[in-house]
Structure 1
């Protein structure tokens, strides 16, 4: 990774300040006058929340902060008004708000005229590991992570991300002048489409023209960045719920100092004298990105349970609009893109079912148009769309299929019919031999009722005399 141009770093610094208004607008419960998730014809379109500093006002936990175990001395080299550099020392005391340097200062309102800094406890130990953990509260898609330091940069530090609220951590970026030695990685490795989630290690931070700021662009040099909407790999790569920064070494000479402590004749008093110089100090931690809503929401709000969630549209649901809302499973869920909004579509159950499921095979067979299958059809209907009458009922064509009484009972006579089912179109029951009527409730012409339920109607017979013979005829 090459060092960032000066104008790029300036732009990031400017963005981290100007997006605060957008951040506060996220908490407004007022609906916008025009919903950006729909066009002027009320058709779904891709929409995204405002770009904000996702770190602003969020809690930061530090594994080590100066002054927590009692007042401690720290020193810094500053330039005087006459251009002379000199060492200036002060006291850090967590119990004195004027001398405290808590981690909460990293995500507060940054004022360039009054820079406030978090500081770690000074130490000459090696390795000198200190951790900062930022909780974003939900999934965000990150564009950059910017760190403004109060004095010199850490020589070796690592950025990790979590996508499960801190349960597990994934390497995101490494910085070191000795990448191979500290992190076991070759510096400035190449990224191709086959390894777009490759974690890099670079020393570009020490070459930065803005020596007190380090900015990590999550998509820099990632080949599919220009087709982000169609790259699930990069969409996953930029997603995070938490960020962790681990400082491993302030300066390469810390290892040498630590080694001297075990040598005979070394004056430990001298080590204590330089100890106040060895601490980490940061003024601002900014994380530029958008609340992750997969293209189905234009804002994130606090829900009734107090959780920060997407205000989902397009019939989607979930904290990140990552699924279809109930009964909208006629098509598979999909992330919205500029070309295809992929709204979730309600199942076609003709108002006879409250639940449905998605069937991929049916979806493919339909030409990728419909895959919903209705569950527990009511009002005597059946079928994947509750579109026909179940056995024992037939369509009443005087009513639409959506009517609660669109299906009438066949009322087939239990003795005169073969079954309780009837013709779905006209309601004609299947009559036994010699039985007639829509419901098979009477004997046909030329038949008379019998006492046998298996053959309820029998033919009538007449006897005729012709000369001396008797002829049996059927009436």
Structure 2
């Protein structure tokens, strides 16, 4: 009886929890960059797309106010309660810690009583507009993963714009407009995120949803990130594969959720009436108690760790990449152009690792054969080899693809090999020196079995010895022209 009662209570708790939590507390994938797997050739690395965990990004930002002296308390001043213009016994004094309201209090731990908050100077210079720009900078590209939430200690502003930058504050573009009357303030029809769709998810809207009301539960303003995710992943964000697929194939969508800076433009404080009460201007000001920004460092799917050192965020890059955003290949790993990782195919994605460049895999062989010897197909095969997907060469190449790209090269023509072998045979017969160094012996010419004394398996040994200067052998009788070149 007790067991059945316990199971009933547990089932009820699971049901209630799922209803109360519309989105998963922790969602995301791609938390591993590489893992070791066993193949026919032994233990090898299997590379995959990866990204850092989502976290509270307000721990790493720098805040800037414009104008710089807009914070209250210098000189000290009194302000009135928002709901009662006759209660003007509140004081702001920057020189007294208990009465100061600096910008840092927008990002401290909430939950204490009384709450801490930043506050602006009052609207004592009316009718001059009371406007404030609050800029949040990370000096790093970040990807937003959750709603931006701004909690006001005063009434929510009558007019506000949330803006973003992708170039560290050099240029700005609007994210969303907020107003009590969108048509009057910004000449835009009011909308909400619920009015959008997959095709219009990138539309910049003006909403009146967060700019009215002066009760305690009416202090919060949202910029809905997850509601926009839900257009692709479903209302409960269950189908994350669909969202990742859209982010992977639609650059504009990916850039929409990417920022280097955010700017909150407070254009008009909460008035509460049609006209401003000029006899009680001390009741008009801005006060923000908390700002939440959740996201992750943008590492182009080449890192799972983002470190904060010397007041700077940097990705700990994998896949032979480097840079603050893992945006380029390491030195000696530029065998193909850099490319970001890919979410596809689900669930591991594609690492798009940087592969060794020619200079790092055998400069002597490169100089001997020339740059055309390393075919594009070979480089692709080497990339796959490093991803443990294949070990064979592509068309127009011979040998086995290796991480050095040495055996997977285009063989020289038979005439070219015959000419080279003939020259070396004649050099061996007559001990001639070139620039003080003896010419190679004929057995070093591993391009055609009949041009040297050792048997054909020599070539196969050379093809697996990872030495420069080898070309796989082929069978067949020499043509008349090749025979003349050999003698």
Q: So what's the TM-score if we normalise by structure 2?
A: 0.61
Bigger helix share: 2
Q: CA deviation at 1:339?
A: 4.0
Distance across 1 between alignment mates of 2:139 and 2:383: 35
Q: Distance in 1 between matches of 2:289 and 2:244?
A: 34
Report the equivalent of 1:244. Answer: 263
Deviations 1:119-157 (A, max 9, x none): 111113353311111112311111221111112111211
RMSD over aligned CA atoms reads: 4.6
1:200 aligns with 2:205: yes
TM-score by length of 1: 0.62
1:301, CA displacement in angstroms? Answer: 0.9
Counterpart of 1:173? 176
Q: What is the aligned partner in structure 2 of residue 125 from structure 1?
A: 127
Question: Deviation digits for residues 192-217 of structure 1, max 9, x if unmatched?
Answer: 44443221110111468931111212
Higher relative contact order (CA 8 A, sep 6+): 2
Q: 1:110, 1:54 → 2: CA distance?
A: 16
Could you tell me whether the CA contact under 8 Å between 1:135 and 1:165 is conserved in 2?
A: yes
Structure with higher strand content: 1
Structure 2 match to 1:437: none
8 A Cα contact 2:149 2:291, kept in partner = yes
- Structure 2 residue runs without a partner (length 5+): 1-16, 38-44, 234-239, 385-403, 433-438, 452-487
1:362–1:371 CA contact under 8 A, matched in 2: no
Which residue pairs with 2:217 in the alignment? 210
Match of 2:243 among 228, 242, 250: 228
CA distance in structure 2 between the partners assigned to 1:367 and 1:196 by the alignment: 39
Q: Which residue of 2 aligns with 1:432?
A: none
In the alignment, the residues of structure 1 paired with residue 102 and residue 264 of structure 2 have an alpha-carbon distance, to the nearest angstrom, of 16
Q: Residue 157 of structure 1 aligns to a residue in which SS? A: strand
2:78 pairs with one of 54, 62, 73: 73
The counterpart of 1:139, out of the listed 129, 138, 141, is: 141
- Matched residues in 2 for 1:371 and 1:116: separation? 54
Q: Larger Rg: 1 or 2?
A: 1
Residues 1:425 and 2:447 aligned together? yes
Pairing 1:153–2:156 present: yes
C-alpha separation in 1, matches of 2:95 and 2:365: 59
Tell whether 2:309 aligns with 1:313. no
Size of the aligned set, in residue pairs, is 356
CA distance in 1, matches of 2:288, 2:160: 13
* C-alpha distance in 1 between matches for 2:292 and 2:424: 71
Query: Which runs of structure 2 are paired with 1:325-404 in the superposition (5 Å)?
Result: 325-326=330-331, 327-330=333-336, 333-337=339-343, 338-347=347-356, 349=358, 351-353=361-363, 363=376, 369=381
Q: Contact conserved, 1:353 with 1:386, CA < 8 A, in 2? A: no
CA contact (8 A) 2:180 2:212 kept: no
Q: Partner of 1:111: helix, strand, or coil?
A: coil
In 2 relative to 1, CA 386–341 (structure 1 residues): closer, same or farther, beyond 3 Å?
A: closer
SS of the equivalent of 1:205 reads: coil
Contact 2:158 2:212 (8 Å CA) reproduced: no
Q: State how 1:281-296 maps to structure 2 within 5 Å.
A: 281-296=287-302
Cα drift, residue 228 of structure 1: 3.2
Q: How far, CA to CA, are the matches of 2:311 and 2:52 in structure 1?
A: 19
Unaligned residue ranges in structure 1 (runs of 5+): 1-6, 19-34, 80-84, 258-269, 373-383, 396-406, 430-475
